[in-house]
Structure formats: C-alpha cells, structure tokens
Chain A
Amino acid sequence: MPVNFRVELIWQEREDTEAESIFLTADGRVILQGRGISAQEREALKLPRDADLISVDRNLIRAIKDML
C-alpha cells in the first residue's frame, strides 16, 4: 500500500540533542514517537491497564511546544 503524504518533524535544540519524531499524517493525526509502557510499569506506577500509553522524553515536549 503506498505511503500517503506524511511529514516527520524532528527538533534539535543543539547539534547533539535530537528529539524523538512527531509525525503528521494525511488523515489529520499527530503521532508521537515514544516508548511503550510495560505491564510491570503500569502496576508499579498504578497506571491504567488497558489504555495506550507511551513514555516520551522532555525534548519531545519542548519540540511540540516549539514546532506545532
């Protein structure tokens, strides 16, 4: 299936700091790159069991503020 037009945004505060990607999709969604939360983490942190959760670094938050 062909890729529809899609934009990946990457923010660098300095040469050596690169935030994870922000993807803008053709259907209007904003997809953030992060790390999935394991069952053990959900249990330890008392997080919702069934929700789709990701952990993102603070650079990505700054990128969202600055780029979107």
Chain B
Amino acid sequence: MFLRNHWYVAALDEEVRERPLGRTLLGEPIVLFRAGDGTLHALENRCPHRQLPLSMGKVVGDALQCHYHGLRFDGAGNCVRVPGQDHIPQNARVRTYPVVERYRWIWVWMGDPALADPAQICDFHWLQDPDWGAKPSYLHVEANWQLIVDNLLDLTHLAFVHETTIGNMALVEHAAVKVQRSPNGVLVTRWTIDQPAPPTFVKVGKFAGNVDRWQIIDYTPPAFLRLDVGACPTGTGAPEGRRVGGISMRNLNAITPETETTSHYFWAQAHSFEPNNPDMTERIFQQIKTAFLEDVAVFTAQQRMIDLRPDAPQVDINADAGGIQARRIVDRLYREEQEAAAHATAAE
C-alpha cells in the first residue's frame, strides 16, 4: 500500500552530481539527473525505445543520453535526438516527476503533478540550520516501510534492542507515554524522570548523576518522523521547559517505499551542542548509527517472517499505541486517495 499524492525523499543531494542516479520509488523506476546548469530533473527510468534504464546512460549538456542507442531526453521528458535519423517519433517521451531540492535531500512528488505543492514538504530544517550540527545518511532496507514507522514510534524496544547504546530498562519500567493523535499526525511524548542516562548520553553529555530525559516523536504521514530527544541533570527544570546543562538532539527520519517489501531509509542526527564541531557530529552520528543498524536487523528479520506467512496473526500491546494510530491515519489517507482517483476516473 502506497500513498502517492505526497513528497518523498528520493536521494541525498550529494548522490546526484555529474552522473544520473536510478532509484525505484513506490514501485516506479525513476532517474534523477542534473542538467548542465545544475537544474535537477526526475524522469521515468526507462528508455521508451528498448526499456534500458536511462540511469545507465550519461548526461550530455542538458539531456540524458541512453546507454544503448544514444537517444537523448531533456528535462521535460521529450526525446530531443535519435542518432541516425532526423525524425523523432511522437511517442518517444518519458514521464516526468516534480522534483525539489531541500534540506540536503532531493524530494520527488509521486502522485498527480497538478497537486504538487513544495510548501507541503515536511520541515527538516535542522539539516541545514547553522545552529545545529547534522549529518544525513541513507540505508537500503529489506523491509516494508510501515515496519520502520512502527519501530520509530515504539519507545519500549529501546530497552531490549538498544540495551548497549540508547536504551535501558528505565524506559519500560518507569515510563508514562502520552500519544496525541491529530487528523494527520501522531505525537508521542515520554519523560523519564530521575533515572540513569543511557550509555550514549553519558558519552556525549558527560552526566555524573541521574537525568530527566525526554523523547518526543512527531509523526507526519506517510513516513516522516522527527524525534526530539535529550536529557538534563535531574532537578534542573527540563520538564517545565528549562533545558539547561544537558544535551538536545534531533533524530530525523524519512522513509520512502521502494517496493512492498523494501524501503529507502533516509535519516540524520542533529545536535544543538557544539554545532560547529565536525568531530562531535561524527561521534554522535556513529553512536546513533550503531543503534540504527540494530533496528535494521530487527525489521529485516520481521519482513522475512512476514514473507513466510503474510496472514500470521499479531498481538497488540500498550506500547504499540503510537504505531497503531499512525497506521489508522495511513489507512484513512489511502482510502481517501483511492476514492478521489475513482471519482476522477468516473468523471472522465
């Protein structure tokens, strides 16, 4: 199940330079390339001549040249050259996709182009805010995109999957979680008061005693999750809004479905302390990356089990509340999108 009328992250900006990049999004092959003047384009990644992925070709001037027979396509998807003949067949063209470069990511609109509004792009300003240090990254994941969303909205797995990095048992045994569901979003908030800091926090925050720790997960459909996480020494007033003497970070996640069972996982870690210290940025990134790979191992294993028996029953527990609400929003948006498409088809 894919939601099409949304912006999705297709690539890190640094992935698309001189060479084209091919990537499948929502089951559709797309090629990203920059014209000679740097303008970014997104086209269907399939030459209409003999189906070769255009991403195997090269950029020539402002056009993308197919590797097989040299047909060239401009940014509007039109074939502008067929080697050896003057006549260009009328149907020698490929689909184009609205594309925007923002927050060091390349965003592609996967639905009706008439509805593409860049103002709807989810805010990830921390990636290029001078008051924050940040490092973005990419993982290809062998799992359905909603398994990743479930994982990010569930805070209790931290105590088990991330025991040696960002979790500890205090997160399960002493926590009260608040799940706020709005029409198009879920906000999960958890404060853990007067408990030991997890190993990663101790390393970067140099905490000597217990901390008040916050985890605030902001979910925006289809699959954008912005985590506000941090800790301050207990008793310094963080729960009342005074974040002093501690650490504050943003964990930023954008998941783009590749197929029903594979995903592109764009993520970044941003920090407000020592924002201009690249060593600190790298150190935090590596700490969090270790935790991320622990998660990847979990949801790829889940997907293997689901593939073996897709209809196996599942049991829900209290800790699933955030993920369940996110899935309900996605189900509703999917129904609305299908109904609108059927309506449009009927009207034609």
User: Which A residues form the contact surface with B (CB < 8 A)?
Assistant: 2-15, 24-26, 66-67
Contact = CB atoms under 8 A, between A and B. Distances in A.
Nearest to B192: A3
Interface stretch (B6-14, B171-179, B223-231, B288-296): B171-179
Given A5-B318, A7-B319, A7-B321, A14 B183 contact: yes
Nearest to B182: A12
Contacts of A2: 173-174
Contacts of B173: 2, 4-5
Contacts, number: 56
Contacts of B319: 5, 7
B181 interface: yes
B181 A5 contact: no
B325 A6 contact: no
Contacts of A12: 180-183
Contact of A5 (B177, B179, B183, B325): B177
Given A3-B175, A67-B325, 5 more contacts: A5-B173, A6-B318, A9-B181, A26-B318, A66-B328
Given A24-B318, A66-B328, A6 B177 contact: yes
B183 A9 contact: no
A17 to B, nearest CB: 10
A5 B173 CA distance: 6
B328 to A, nearest CB: 7
Q: Which of A9, A12, A15: most chain B CB closer than 10 A?
A: A9
- Of all A-B residue pairs in the complex, the 5 with the closest CB atoms, nearest first, are A12-B182, A8-B178, A10-B180, A24-B318, A2-B174
Interface residues of B, number: 18
Given A13-B183, A14-B183, A67-B325, A8 B176 contact: yes
B269 interface: no
B179 A7 contact: yes
Contacts of A26: 318
A8 B191 CA distance: 12
B183 A3 contact: no
Contacts of B172: 5
Contacts of B321: 7, 9, 24
21 contacts: A2-B173, A3-B176, A5-B156, A6-B175, A7-B177, A7-B178, A7-B179, A7-B318, A8-B177, A8-B178, A8-B179, A9-B179, A10-B178, A10-B179, A11-B181, A12-B180, A12-B181, A12-B183, A24-B321, A67-B325, A67-B328
